């Protein structure tokens, strides 16, 4: 059984860097689960998460929107 990938939405910040938009999660409706992300589509790009820029695998939807796998962007501390 293949599971959808739970992703964190990204938006293009004013400086051009992808930025994760964190928001309080209330339930399953708040999480995006994508089953259309092909590994070959991923591109390595700098992403700012909670103020820290890290290079991650980004799946671009359009020039201003992208997603990144939750587990890669926000590993459990």
Interface with another protein (CB under 8 A): 1-4, 6, 9, 11-14, 16-19, 21-36, 41, 43-46, 50, 55, 58-66, 70-71, 74-77
Alpha carbon of residue 51 to chain centroid? 15
Shortest distance, position 9 Cβ to another protein, whole Å? 7
Shortest distance, position 74 Cβ to another protein, whole Å? 4
Shortest distance, position 13 Cβ to another protein, whole Å? 7
Q: Which two tokens stand for residue 61?
A: 């939807």
74 CB neighbour count, 10 Å cutoff: 14
Of 59, 9, 6, 2, which is closest to residue 33 (Cα–Cα)?
Answer: 6
């Amino acid at each position: 059984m293949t599971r959808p990938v739970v992703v964190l939405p990204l938006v293009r910040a004013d400086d051009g860097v992808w930025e994760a938009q964190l928001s309080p999660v209330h339930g399953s409706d708040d999480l995006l689960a994508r089953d259309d992300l092909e590994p070959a589509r991923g591109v390595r790009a700098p992403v700012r998460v909670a103020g820290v820029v890290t290079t991650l695998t980004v799946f671009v939807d359009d020039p201003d929107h992208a997603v990144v796998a939750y587990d890669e962007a926000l590993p459990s501390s």
